[in-house]
Amino acid sequence: MAEIDLRKEKKGAFVQAVADSQHGDVIIYHEGENMLGCPHKLHAIGASDAGTVALVSKRIGPRHFIFMAQRTRVRR
């Protein structure tokens, strides 16, 4: 299981990370209080809707989170 960190990457990197990832890999795509200003937000939601990732968040402070997408098995 690999961990792919996109927190400093530009918009569009999420799509490539999903394409390069395998089942179980974790893509860290944002850190902050909320999703405002996240360049990967729409791609993450789209991948979740398509069933290729499961979106999760982890609290690391009172109002601070890490937002991640875990790669699922590809639907056929």
Q: What residues in the chain have per-residue pLDDT under 50?
A: 76
pTM for the whole structure: 0.90
**Domains observed in the chain:** 3-71 (3.30.110)
Report pLDDT for 75. 58
Report pLDDT for 1. 86
CA pseudo-torsion sign 57, 60, 38, 4: negative
